[in-house]
Chain A
């Protein structure tokens, strides 16, 4: 059936907008590398491989234009990171934005953290819609006036001007990571945040840039003994002393910062025993966790590995409470996916606002949603063909063998260059943002 699957209340996902060039020839710098709604959902930020950040703002719904139901328009664009060169090691540092995380809003300005492989920056995005006019010491062009010529004093007046959105870097947190940063996460205390690279996790204070606390260090004394790396980390949404980090071995460790200054010893250790019957050359690769996300409630967490998404109850360490297969049909293709490097793709996952549904991406511009209550799942596609305004999305199906039905697509026809790695769900509403290479698709639940 077409309708209804994919949300707790039978949502019908419809196309809303698509941002980005239509060109077939995609410049690498334009490839979107992270997508994130802010806490209210009013702002949607994307980062790309070229080091740029683009922020979209949702239009206020108005009775005058009922059909433009809260569309997202460009609010601010700025260059967050530039390519750098480490001369000591003769290494280029990519400007690609790995993650963006918003800070909770405390005043009129908006703050976000953006990071590349080595440096984290705190950006302030503020609006300016007034300008002071009538200065005493300089004239309208900005040229200084001769003080001896000034005979009267006046008070400058604020005059309205066209809205200008300015982004300025307020803090730069540099030189704390030897390895590539894969995660940043703002703490619930709104004062600190953590950053994680392959081997270490650091805790920062948002005001202090010249030092950070190292809270996890899994680098072995002898690098020859290295067997696993940190792949993702996140702060607990409510308990500011708790965070988790996932590993390339498919394990998750929950740590309590109250227990010790260095959280090398975990409080909880989550691991599902491996199924020996499914062992292959690539078992280790596909068990590597690419993303970990707490539920909004803080009671669960979700992990993404190459073929599946797992939901874990924080009170149960020995296995997940739910497992969802994203694209199990790829299991027999692992060797080819290893050859073409697709097996190393790092898919992210996200919760909806009420934690009743989860979403993650796949290939061929497909993305998947799972309803945790009804256990139904749906596959949808982000494509220009389905991009008529408010067009309802048709569920897609991959044919895994036997006779291919009409409208199904066979595994061998999937386009592995079209991968959806980054998706985001509005914190309160059923609005989703899906990054397909250089395009950002926004889908909304249809108003009945």
Chain B
């Protein structure tokens, strides 16, 4: 657990450096920011591996029990993918009779789907494969695709875990627990995390959003998470390339003020992914 605290601390420091580099004299130093992004990636991997291991064990334990109970009722359930609207059901009790592994990713899957906006029939396909057991290893824990996005809506740590366990690259298996995440989402909004603006959500995970705002949630290229630009979006890349004709002055103006607010929020909030977004 010490590692987790240390990793989180290093992540916060790294994000601070990246943020500060935007206002440093002489422009963004590509070399330094690349190195910082590598540290950030290493720290995050440690943080996530620790975190996932801790929470997943709990979740799997609960899920396994429920699966036994619900086994008989599986076929009667409506696939969550077809009910894309948040339901008002309480998330306290899990009802879906999905294989245990998908359930752990349920909350996040919903978030992914809703924000990515993809119509995805995969969940229904999954549901049909009643006999298949999803290997936990199928749920890739490499790098979250859009934890940023899901985070801004689902601020609670439970949802974050699910997001972390999300399958990459928009290959989202639909969540069975529509309601679970929506509950979290609402509570997150109530706690004020929604102050973190999400300017735009991406349809495709890897597309660079041509946008001067740096506070939007960005999806990560899981194949090369170390890349700073990928993690933190076009607001960074625009400063590097002479090909980009974007003027960054308005961006700087806009984020200098909100950056302050976000920094303060960052300090209060233990959630690293919200941290990641607010720093920008």
Contact, CB under 8 Å: B26 / A92: yes
Interface: B249 (CB within 8 A) = yes
Contacts of A411 in B (CB 8 A): none
Instruction: Give the A interface residue count (CB, 8 A).
Output: 35
Residues of B within 8 A of A179 (CB): 30, 240
Tell me whether chain B's interface is mostly helix, strand or loop, or mixed.
Answer: helix
Query: Counting CB contacts under 8 A, is B56 at the interface?
Result: no
Which of B27, B206, B221 has its CB near the most chain A CB atoms (within 10 A)?
Answer: B27
**Interface-forming stretch among A7-15, A277-285, A356-364, A375-383?**
A277-285
CB of B27 within 8 A of CB of A225, answer no
Which B residue's beta carbon lies closest to that of A93? B26
Say how far A217's CB is from chain B's closest CB, in angstroms: 13
- Within 8 Å CB of B239, what residues of A? 89, 91
Query: Bound state CA distance, A226 and B236, in angstroms?
Result: 13
* Distance between Cα atoms of A344 and B32 in the complex (Å): 7
Name the one of A86, A88, A231, A335 contacting B245, with C-beta atoms under 8 angstroms: A88
> Mask for B16-27, Cβ within 8 A of A = 1, else 0?
010000000111
A303 within 8 A of B: no
Known: A92-B26, A178-B242. A223 touches B31 (CB 8 A): no
Tell whether, in the assembled complex, residue A226 and residue B227 are in contact, meaning their CB atoms are under 8 Å apart.
Answer: yes
B26 / chain A contacts, CB cutoff of 8 Å: 91-94, 96, 117, 180
Within 8 A of B (CB), among A175-193: 178-180, 182
A248 contacts chain B at the CB level, 8 A cutoff: yes
B226 partner residues in chain A, CB cutoff 8 A: 227
Do A281 and B42 touch (CB < 8 A)? Answer: yes
Chain A residues lying within 8 Å of B7, measured Cβ to Cβ, are: 281
Judge whether B252 is part of the interface by a CB distance below 8 angstroms: yes
Interface string of B42-74 (1 = CB under 8 A from A): 110010000000000000000000000000000
Q: A224-B208, A226-B229, A284-B39 given as contacts; is B34 within 8 A of A248 (CB)?
A: yes
Residue of A nearest to B38 (CB): A284
Q: Do residues A248 and B241 form an inter-chain contact, with CB atoms below 8 A?
A: no
Residue B209 CB within 8 A of the other chain: no
Interface check B204, CB cutoff 8 A: no
Q: Which of A88-116 contact B (CB under 8 A)?
A: 88-94, 96
Q: List, in ascending order, chain B residues with CB within 8 A of A91's CB.
A: 26-27, 239, 248
By a CB distance below 8 angstroms, the chain B residues around A90 are 247-249, 252
Contact among A94, A229, A338, A341 for B25, CB-based, below 8 A: A94
Is A339 located at the chain interface by the 8 A CB criterion? yes
Residue B77 is within 8 A (CB to CB) of chain A in the complex:
no
Residues of B with C-beta under 8 A to A234: none
A206-228 vs B: 1/0 string, CB under 8 Å? 00000000000000000111111
**Residue of chain B at shortest CB distance from A346:** B31
A281, B39: Cα distance in complex, Å: 6
Residues from 242 to 257 in B contacting A, C-beta threshold 8 Å: 242, 245, 247-249, 252
Which of B10, B17, B27 lies in contact with A335, CB distance below 8 A?
A: B10
Question: How far is A109 from B10 in the complex, measured between Cα atoms in Å?
Answer: 53
Q: Flag if A89 contacts B221 (CB, 8 Å).
A: no
State in angstroms the CA–CA spacing of A444 and B34 once bound together.
Answer: 40
CB distance from B236 to the nearest CB of A (A): 9
| B124 contacts partner chain A, Cβ-Cβ < 8 Å | no
Q: Write the residues of chain B forming the contact surface with A, with a CB cutoff of 8 angstroms.
A: 6-7, 10, 13, 17, 25-27, 29-32, 34-35, 38-39, 42-43, 46, 206, 208, 221, 224, 226-227, 229-230, 237, 239-242, 245, 247-249, 252
19 contacts between A and B (CB under 8 A): A86-B27, A89-B239, A89-B248, A90-B249, A92-B25, A92-B26, A93-B27, A178-B241, A179-B30, A180-B30, A182-B31, A198-B31, A224-B224, A225-B227, A227-B227, A281-B7, A281-B46, A282-B39, A341-B17
What are the 6 A-B residue pairs with the smallest beta carbon separation, nearest first?
A94-B26, A91-B27, A90-B249, A224-B230, A284-B38, A198-B30
